[in-house]
Copies of this chain bind each other. A is one copy, B any other.
Amino acid sequence: MVKSMLNQQTALDLTFQALADPGRRAMLERLSRGPAAVSELAQPLTMSLPAVLQHLNVLETAGLVTSQKTGRIRTCQIAGSGLSAAQAWLADRRAEWEARFDRLETYLNGLQEEDRNGCV
């Protein structure tokens, strides 16, 4: 369990790191609209093919993309599950923050109420 927690933290590192690059995000955007070959992913990007391969590797290591090769063509697809860990982390933080925000609001409303009742 301890190990899985550490792994999870590392997984989040890899995920957010992977998402931090605009080229990689562009690749993910393309893949979210359907599978694509490596050269298809490379086409809109202004970089060499080896560079694209390296980015692809980052995405695969992060579990955001899977690929398999048939013949001389490697077909890549997005891995929906990879995105959800990142999404969940963000949602958790927002939820906690908003809960705090709501409590603060309630507290302030309480103060206002006391004020109206002449309590100092």
Q: Which residues of A contact B (CB under 8 A)?
A: 9, 12-13, 16-17, 19-22, 25, 28-29, 32-34, 78, 80, 83-84, 86-87, 89-94, 96-98, 100-101
Tell me how many chains of this kind the complex includes.
2
The residue that A17 contacts in the complex, of B20, B34, B89, B90, with Cβ under 8 A, is: B20
Cα-based distance from A87 to B86 in the complex (angstroms): 9
Q: Which A-B residue pairs are the 10 nearest by beta carbons? A: A16-B20, A17-B20, A32-B96, A16-B19, A32-B93, A32-B97, A87-B90, A80-B97, A16-B16, A78-B97
Residues of B within 8 A of A101 (CB): 80
Task: Give 10 A-B pairs besides A19-B20, A20-B20, A32-B97 with Cβ atoms closer than 8 angstroms.
Answer: A13-B21, A16-B20, A19-B90, A28-B93, A32-B94, A33-B100, A80-B98, A80-B101, A83-B97, A87-B90
Give the interface SS of chain A, mostly helix, strand, loop or mixed.
Answer: helix
CB closest chain-B residue, reference A35 = B100
